Structures are given as structure tokens and as C-alpha cells.
Amino acid sequence: MAAFVFLSVVTVLVWRSQVGRQQQLLARHAEDVAFQASLRLQVFVESHLKMASVFAKRWATHETQDFSQKRFEKFGTVMIAELPGYYAISLLSPDNGHWTVPASVDHSEIIKNFQRERLFEETRAAASVLLSGPVRDTAGHVSFFATLPLRRGHDDLGFLMIQFQAKTLIDDCFHEKIRSEFDFVVEDKTGLVYRFTPDGDQWMESQESTGQRVSFRLHNRQWILTVVPQKRILNSSGWVANLAVPALGFPVTVALAWLVWLLLRRMEMLRIAKDRAVLEVEERRRAESALQVSQARHAQLSRKILMAQEEERSRLSRELHDELGQILTALRFEMGLLGKTLASASESKSHLVDNAVKLVETSAEELRRICRGLRPPLLDDLGLEPALHMLTRDFVERTGITVDFDMDFERADDIVTPEVALATYRIMQEALNNVSRHAKTMNVSVSIFRTNDELQLSIEDHGVGFDPDALSPQDSCGIQGMRERAHLVLGTLSVSSSIGDGTSLVFRVPLKQTKGESA
């Protein structure tokens, strides 16, 4: 009897443990699915909003300033056809007029209900995309809207309002395997955005306490994704689904021999779990190895892209200098001949010719400056040191900021490779531009020297400085670009600054990148 009671208790405990383990695994799986689905949904919606931002930027900065309704309908039709979830696009001008694509959609009532002026003031203040809460139409379809400001310089061109159909947009985020196992609900604080409940709304509400909820932010909105296992999946981990445990456990109470069999069975399960853990560790090791290979390929591709950009700049600089420069020179000679022809004419005509000559000379000088900015000819013809001196002189002439330039070695071109020379030039060029735009100082110190192990470029100013931790990704594009250039030549870039104490930038590249070491 004692053995029977003992084995019965053990059987019940094992049964309960099995059920709890499966439910725990199911809950962990649901948690992983909720996290991955929310991340995928966030990235998916953000990519669509990014496309809308690109459309708004292209519309506002069109070179020919073609802001016609025909062009807007053309762009809007293409976006609605190519991107799932885009239902309608409206352009709202400052004079309260609006265009909508497709024309069959009427956003007048929506605009009125949105409190147009308040929404647009918030969009203008945020200077980015703002999302509305969910809106349900008479047919029961749920949509949400995104508003984007349209600006060209200081000119206000109105706002772009895009209507997204929530079901069409979100359906693409969840693949069939997840749909066969879970019910989904996406909510905004103001209402329901999306619902996928094959088991019915009552099942979703009854299992809400056991579901997994993930909250994530999309610009100004807070969305909540709720994931609940479907009835079939939840039943497969319940007591009924695990009746095999008591069916095997209770007969063991009659014959003690079954105890040995059960022990061997548990040992076999332990061995399988151990083998599975070993396989998971091996798979993780292979994944890490593949990630390292992928990162190496990414770095190689970035280097090729950067060199291709520099080659294209060089080609464009040569073409501008050779073709357009020759045309401006010829035009200068022609204007000179015209001036001599009109020497005997009236003073007003002669003055007009002189002004035209000055404009041509100014255009030629501006062309030469643009060509130097695209690809400095001194860097290719004479090397790094003359190019840096020319860059310094141009910066002083353009901004009036004094530069203390110190180069502590000679014949830099015998030391560094062309790639390192180009990276050094571009980093110094970007750093000086940052000083002129942000530092608010009239003096900057630049030094470049060689140590036993590396080449070092140092740029310091005593301007207003900034807080590196508070720098947003949009404001750190220049620094990130300099870091990428340094990384491509196996160098490092460090930036230190504090508010009121100026900024210091140091670029270091190992000597193994030099010509002498490579040889």
C-alpha cells in the first residue's frame, strides 16, 4: 500500500510537471512570437512611413518645382499600386485645398474630424511623421492616417496625409505558421487597429490573462500587440493531452518492475535533451561564424562603394573642369572681344559688358571651387600635404576662421597609401565643416604627425562643444561617416567634447597601412 501510494503520488506529480512544463514552453514560445511579431510589425510600418517620407521629400525638393496635381496623382498612384496597405494619399495645401489619390476617396470629413489645424500644428512642431488613432469606416474597415510636413527651405508647401488600411498592411507581417498557432490583436490607446481571431472574439477575451502583450511606440502612437495561443494549441498542452503519463504511471504501482522502466525512460529523455543542447550550441557557433563572415563581406562591400563614390566624384570633377570650364573660358574671350567692339559705344553698354565679364569670371571661379570639393586635384597630382594646405587656405578664405596647421613630417606621400590619404583628407574636410557650422569659434588647431606605430590627425577647437550622449542619430551623421571612413582603412576615430569646452577629434591609422610597411 505504501508503495502504491508513493508511486501514485509520483505519477500525479510527474503528470502535473509535464503539463506545467508544456504550458511553460508554450508561454515562452508565445512570448517569443509576440516579441518577434511586434518587432517585425514595427519595422514593417516604419519602412512604409520611410517611403512616405521619401515621397514627401522628393515632392518638396523637386528641381523644376513641378507641384502640379498631375504629378501628384502620378506619384500617388504608383505608391498605392506598389506598396501594400496604402489606401489613399492626400495633399493639403496651406490655403485649405486638398488633392486625393484615388479621386474616389473623400477625406473631407476625416480632415474635419481630425481637427485639421491642431493636427497640422503638432506635425509642424514635431517636424516628422505623426500618426492618428484607428478610424473605422461605415463598412467596418479600420484605417489609420499619417501626416507629414512639406517644406522647401523656409516655404510651407502644406502637408501630406496618407491613409493606411490596417488589415492589408498588417496581414503581410505574420506568416502562415504563426497564424496557424496564435490569435493576434493590435490595439491603440484609442481603439482596435487589427484583429486576427479564428477561434472567435470570446476565446480571445477569455484567454487574455494568459496571452502575451507587447507594447511598442510608432512615432507619437503607442501600439499594443496581444498574442494568445489558439484553442487547438492550448488543448494540446493540457491535462487531457498528457493522459499517457498516468496511463503508464498507475500500472507501475502494481508491478515494481515498471519503476525501473520508467527510470530508464527518464534517463533516455535526459540524454535526448543533452544531445539537443549540444546541437543547439553547435548551431549557435556556426551562426556566430556566419555572422563574422557576413560582417567581413559588409566591410569589403562598404570599401568598394566608398571607392566607387570617390572615382565617380573624380570623373565628375574632371568633366566639369574640362567641359564646362572650357566653355566658360571661351565665353570669357568672346565677352572680351565684344567689349572691344563696343568700346566706342555708349557707356551704359560698355558697363553691361563689364558686368557680364565679371559674372563669367565668378562662375569660372565657383566651378573650380566645386571641382576641388568633389575631388581635389592636388591630392591626385601632388599628394596629401599640398592638398591639406589647399583645404586649409580655402577654409580660411571661405569662413574667416583662423587655422593653426602643423604637419610634423615631410613627404607624407611616401608614407601613406592613396586610400589612407583620401580618408585623411575627407575626415579633415568634414571636421572643418562641422567647426564652421556648429563650433561658433574663430580659431581651430590642426596637427598631423607620425609616431612609431601610427599616423595621427588631431583637430581641436575651443567652441561651444556638445554633449555626445545627447546627440541624436540625425545630428551624428557626419561623425558616423568619418568613423566609417576610418574603419575602412583599419583606423580609429575618437571624438571628445563637453558643453562650453570645445571639441577634440583624433584620427589614428596603424603604420601597417603605409607604403613602407606594405612593401
**Which of 309, 33, 70 is closest to 184 using CA atoms?**
33
d(CA 96, CA 117): 10
Whether this model's pTM surpasses 0.85: no
Distances (CA, A) of 214 to 190, 279, 488, 498: 17, 31, 39, 37
What's the confidence (pLDDT) of residue 101?
Answer: 85
β-strand partners of 7: none
What's the confidence (pLDDT) of residue 518?
Answer: 40
Write 358-361 long-range contacts (CB < 8 A, 24+): 360/328, 360/331, 360/332, 360/335, 361/332
How do the pLDDT tens digits run along the chain, 519 residues long? 555 666 666 677 776 777 777 778 878 888 888 888 888 888 888 888 888 888 878 777 766 666 778 888 888 888 888 888 888 888 877 766 778 888 777 766 666 555 555 666 666 666 678 888 888 877 778 888 888 888 777 777 778 888 888 888 888 777 787 888 888 889 988 888 888 888 887 777 777 667 788 898 888 889 998 888 888 877 777 665 555 565 565 666 656 556 666 777 888 888 888 988 898 899 899 888 888 888 777 767 766 766 666 666 666 666 665 666 666 666 666 666 666 666 655 555 666 666 666 776 666 666 666 665 555 666 666 777 888 888 888 888 888 889 998 887 665 555 678 788 888 888 888 888 888 888 888 899 999 888 777 888 999 988 888 888 777 766 667 788 888 888 888 889 999 888 888 899 999 998 764 444 443
Domain boundaries, the chain: 1-255, 305-372, 383-518
DSSP 437: I
Close Cβ partners of 491 (under 8 Å, ≥ 6 residues apart): 420, 423, 507, 508, 509, 510, 513
Length of the chain: 519
What's the confidence (pLDDT) of residue 516?
Answer: 44
At the second CATH level, the architecture of 383-518 is 2-Layer Sandwich (3.30)
What's the confidence (pLDDT) of residue 254?
Answer: 58
d(CA 274, CA 280): 10
What's the confidence (pLDDT) of residue 398?
Answer: 84
**Which of 57, 47, 342 is closest to 173 using CA atoms?**
47
Residue with cell 597601412: 513
Which pairing describes strands 443-450 and 402-407: parallel, antiparallel, or unpaired? parallel
d(CA 58, CA 309): 22
Contact predicate 358/380, CB 8 Å: no
**What's the helix, strand, coil split of the chain in %, to 5?**
60, 20, 20
Distances (CA, A) of 142 to 13, 37, 164, 215: 48, 20, 9, 20
What's the confidence (pLDDT) of residue 300?
Answer: 72
Q: Which CATH number fits domain 1-255: 2.60.120.460, 3.20.20.70, 3.40.50.300, 3.30.450.20?
A: 3.30.450.20
d(CA 294, CA 282): 18
What's the confidence (pLDDT) of residue 514?
Answer: 46
Q: Which helix (H) or strand (E) holds 266?
A: helix 257-319
d(CA 88, CA 73): 11
d(CA 212, CA 51): 31
What's the confidence (pLDDT) of residue 327?
Answer: 65
d(CA 82, CA 48): 11
What angle is formed at CA 249 by the lines to CA 244 and CA 255, rounded to 5 degrees? Answer: 135
